Homo-oligomer: A and B are copies of this chain.
Amino acid sequence: MQNYIKDVEKTLKNGDFKLTHRRKAVLGVLWDNKDKHLSAEEVYNLVKEKEPDVGLATVYRTLELFSGFGIVCSMDFGDGRMRYECIDSKNEGHHHHHIICLKCGKILEMAEDLLDDLEARVSRELSFKVLDHQLKIFGHCSECK
């Protein structure tokens, strides 16, 4: 965690941005909830526990800033709000395959990268430079089906 913060600080400094208290608080919340997929408002509420007078706009601006530096990634599960998760060295570059239960809304993950063949085909046949991908699988989880 401490090293991670240092890394983020360095990354931001390269772009002439600072890791302020507010931003550090946002980062801390994301770090503590790496396994979740927090919405901006959820991040906001958690940050407010430590910094009661933070503004929602700051959270949005911070998330956008972090996004631009690849510190967090944002994802969309189709429920009308974005979700955010921080990226550390362990999951960097990994694509998440989200498995979404349509009944209870639970989200499972399959982090393995099984789409290499498909990506290779797209590259080759369409001469398309693949940068990223997202896979979502919808259905009913073991408890709901």
Contacts and interface: CB of A to CB of B under 8 A. Distances in A.
A142 B126 contact: yes
Contacts of A127: 142, 145
A138 B131 contact: yes
A138 B132 contact: yes
A1 interface: no
A102 interface: yes
B135 A133 contact: yes
Given A128-B140, A132-B137, 16 more contacts: A99-B122, A108-B126, A110-B122, A114-B118, A115-B118, A118-B137, A127-B145, A128-B137, A128-B142, A129-B141, A129-B145, A130-B138, A130-B139, A131-B139, A132-B138, A134-B134
Interface of A: 76, 78, 97, 99, 101-102, 108, 110, 114-115, 117-119, 121-122, 126-142, 145
